[in-house]
Each structure stands twice: as C-alpha cells, then as structure tokens.
Amino acid sequence: MTTITAPETTLSSAVASDGAPVPLLVHRPANPRGWIVWAHGGSWQHGSAAAWAPVTAALAASSGWVVVSVEYRLAPAHRFPAAVLDVLAALDWAETHSGDLPVVVGGDSAGGTIAASAALARRDTGDRVPAQVLAYPPLDPRCASPSYRARSGAFPNRADLRAAWRLWMDSTPEPTILPTPLEAPSLAGLAPVSLVVGSDDPVRDDVIAYADRLRADCIPTTLEVLPGVGHADVLSPRSRVLSAVPAALSESSLSELSTPTPQPTHLEGTPS
C-alpha cells in the first residue's frame, strides 16, 4: 500500500439537531480522494477523538481520505441517541465541506454501531445515505450469538458488553432512529457497506448477520473476516483491521459514490 504524506490535522465543530456542540478532529491529506466521518470505539462510554488520533491520522495517511473524527457524547451521561445525533451532525458538516468528493461514514467497535445507526437514520429521513465502512461493530444488545461464547477470556466478554449496551440505550422510544440496524424490518435503500471483523472477535457473528441481512436486501456488501484477529484491533501497533479499512475505501462501489439518491418514500414498516 502506498503511504500518503502525513495529513494536516485541525479542529472544527458542528451542532447536533438537539443543539449540542460536536467537536471534530479533521485529518486532511493533500489531494484527498473522499471524506469519511469516523466514530471511535470504547463501548459507548469511553474513548475520544484525541485518544484515537493516532488511528484516525494513520487512516487518513494510508487511504488518502479526509477523516473527520467525531467527539461524540458518551454514555451514561448521554444515552442513545445522543451519539448518533452527533455523527449525523458531522455528516452534515462534512458534506458542506467535501465539494464533489464522496462522503461515507465509519467507525470501530461501538463507533461502528453508531455509524450504522446514523446511515439507517439518513435513509429513514430521506436524506443522502452514506456508504458504511465498519470495523467489528457489536450489533445485538443481547449478545446472543455463538461467537460470544466461542473463546473463553476473549474481549469483550458477553456480560460486560451487555452491561455496556444497557448503559447506552435509553428506555425512551426514539421514533426515527434505531440503536442497531438489526432491529430494522428492512435494510433496503442503504448505500454500499464494507465490514471488517476478526475470526476471534466475540462480535463476529453480529457482523456476519448484518452482512447476510444486507445481501438479502440487495445492498452491495463486502465482508472480510481476518483469521486470528480479535476485538479492538485498530489500537494494535500492527493492526490488520486498520490496513483493511483503506482497502475497503478503495472499492469502486465506495470511492465512486458521491450523493446517493434519497428514497422518495419510507419503506413500509420502517421507522419514520
């Protein structure tokens, strides 16, 4: 993979639909190929754009894409859908600054969950639907699939992740946003999705289930399961997931995508 010159890093901000400020850390390589709005991991409770800066800067440098890293609000002080609203605001901001370049949404771990929810919310409100590039997002609040029990001692363990879901999710119904795309009756109308997960990751089956649902609804989908890789791999100095994300961004279905056509009406049975 060709390494691009180190990107320029600046601070900016957006405003969420509920009025909350959304700080943004922007890594801008020379002659960018596109823009990706990125949500960091941390079980919806931890992490920050600053803590993930080595990851997001490396992603910008290796991909040649502008990376807009979102300082989204954390649980339990700010429960769902606050973080999703922050990513939606970052998408709006990126689209006003990207010119004719494509804007996609992505994230790792809990940030991938948030990014997927934001893309689905865009579909359900009739806005432009961004393509998704997601690294090992947990997608089932029950953590019920066999991969959660496959490896004793694997991170994250099922009990801790279920507790993290409970701390993030609010009991108040949200009419236009879902916490996970697996709760949607249909995924039709989404833009292309690229998924990366390790074979040893407890959330592996969640990611595979999402890929299966997407393909069943005729969404262009790529899934890479990396042998021997566990969760939180983007934080590893020799991350294989972080190498896979630029490759996903180079896929023609993503790099040529600019402004997907909004769906003229909501699909029957989807939130509105």
Q: Which residues are catalytic?
A: 109, 201, 231
Q: Which residues contact 265 (CB under 8 A, 6 or more apart)?
A: none
N- to C-terminal Cα distance for the chain?
42
Q: Which residues contact 9 (CB under 8 A, 6 or more apart)?
A: 25, 26, 27, 28, 53, 57
| 24 contacts 44 by C-beta, under 8 angstroms | no
| 72 contacts 86 by C-beta, under 8 angstroms | yes
Closest CA to 113 of 23, 33, 36, 195: 195
| 88 contacts 178 by C-beta, under 8 angstroms | no
Helix (H, G, I), strand (E, B) or coil at 92: helix
Separation CA 20–CA 102 (nearest Å): 26
Q: What are phi and psi of 229, to 5 degrees?
A: -100, 135
Which amino acid does the sequence have at 18? D
Q: Which two tokens stand for residue 28?
A: 């801008």
Cα Rg for the chain, rounded, in angstroms?
A: 17
